[in-house]
């Protein structure tokens, strides 16, 4: 395995993690976020966050008690040449099998340990960045989550980039860890996508994010109807039926697509009648006015 440097910025009011070698534990895989460039257009990226086995003696109340580092931006793909796949294989210590790729869920990384080497480096801008210069499988005693870091999807403020979601390499102020298993404040609204039950996915299909193909990272409610119909045919009615061990992501997507399939069927039977206003996301998922991502699943 090659050693690859993965850079983390200081980001405003962050202190960069000091030089460190030892055990780290994954405490977050951030939600996908859109980034735009003139050269490449819009792409969706995510980051992995680690707690170091390195306590902060001066951590204020409410802040994570360990030094934390954020990975570089990754695209949600495990293709042969994907940076995330190379990073993950270095971390796991072996190449990914076809079955591991098919069943992979980012949630499986939460709580997973790694052996890392972190070094501070000064950039041309004068900023100090903490860089992971090596990641390998863990050694020795397992490191548990501290219980003092809040995952980005669970932050009430939405976790803006400057405070921890956009390549910030220090310790986030005001962070407190909690799991995504708890229900939302409003029982009529779904929880965050990764915390949804299968029943909630069926009830709120537009909120479910697709995790496969070119539509990966997009909520179903933002997709063009023709793309959803491709997912229904190729994933729900073909591939999903053959899965012996579907992941939770697979099951949520299947439940959401089943609801939309029934909705489309009812609309075809009933025509276009009805004067009631529909939620915007429902209109996009049914009228063909959403994001066109291509029919190649």
Integer CA distances (angstroms), 148 to 52, 61, 145, 246, in order: 12, 10, 8, 32
Q: What is the pLDDT of residue 264?
A: 86
- Angle 81-87-91 from CA coordinates, rounded to 5°: 140
Q: Supply the pTM of this predicted model.
A: 0.53
Round to whole Å and give the CA distance between 43 and 265.
33
Strand order in the sheet with 113-122: 6-8, 128-136, 113-122, 20-29, 48-55, 66-70
Q: What is the pLDDT of residue 195?
A: 61
Q: What is the pLDDT of residue 270?
A: 54
In order along the chain (297 residues), what is the average pLDDT of each group of 10 residues? Answer: 40 74 94 83 89 86 83 88 94 94 91 93 85 90 92 66 37 29 41 68 88 85 90 91 83 91 77 44 45 47
Q: What is the pLDDT of residue 157?
A: 53
Q: What is the pLDDT of residue 274?
A: 42
Q: What is the pLDDT of residue 169?
A: 42
């Amino acid at each position: 395995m090659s050693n690859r440097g993965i850079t983390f910025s200081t980001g405003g009011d962050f202190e960069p993690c000091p030089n460190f070698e030892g055990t780290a534990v994954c405490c977050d895989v951030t939600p996908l976020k859109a980034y735009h460039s003139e050269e490449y257009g819009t792409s969706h990226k995510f980051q992995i966050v680690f707690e170091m086995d390195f306590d902060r003696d001066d951590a204020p109340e409410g802040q994570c008690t360990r030094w934390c580092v954020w990975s570089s931006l990754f695209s949600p793909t495990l293709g042969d040449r994907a940076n995330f796949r190379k990073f993950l294989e270095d971390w796991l210590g072996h190449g990914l099998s076809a079955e591991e790729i098919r069943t992979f869920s980012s949630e499986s990384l939460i709580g997973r340990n790694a052996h890392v080497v972190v070094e501070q480096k000064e950039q041309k801008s004068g900023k100090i960045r903490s860089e992971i210069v090596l990641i390998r499988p863990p050694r020795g005693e397992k490191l548990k989550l501290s219980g003092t870091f809040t995952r980005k999807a669970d932050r009430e403020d939405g976790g803006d980039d400057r405070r921890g979601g956009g390549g910030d390499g220090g310790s986030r102020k005001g962070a407190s860890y909690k799991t995504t298993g708890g229900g939302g404040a409003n029982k009529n609204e779904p929880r965050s996508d990764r915390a949804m039950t299968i029943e909630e996915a069926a009830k709120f299909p537009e909120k479910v994010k697709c995790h496969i193909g070119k539509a990966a990272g997009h909520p179903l409610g933002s997709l063009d109807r023709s793309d959803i119909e491709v997912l229904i045919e190729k994933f729900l009615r073909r591939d999903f039926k053959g899965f012996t061990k579907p992941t939770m992501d697979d099951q949520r997507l299947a439940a959401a697509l089943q609801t939309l399939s029934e909705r489309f069927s009812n609309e075809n039977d009933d025509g276009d009648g009805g004067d009631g206003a529909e939620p915007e996301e429902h209109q996009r998922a049914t009228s063909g006015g959403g994001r066109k991502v291509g029919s190649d699943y």
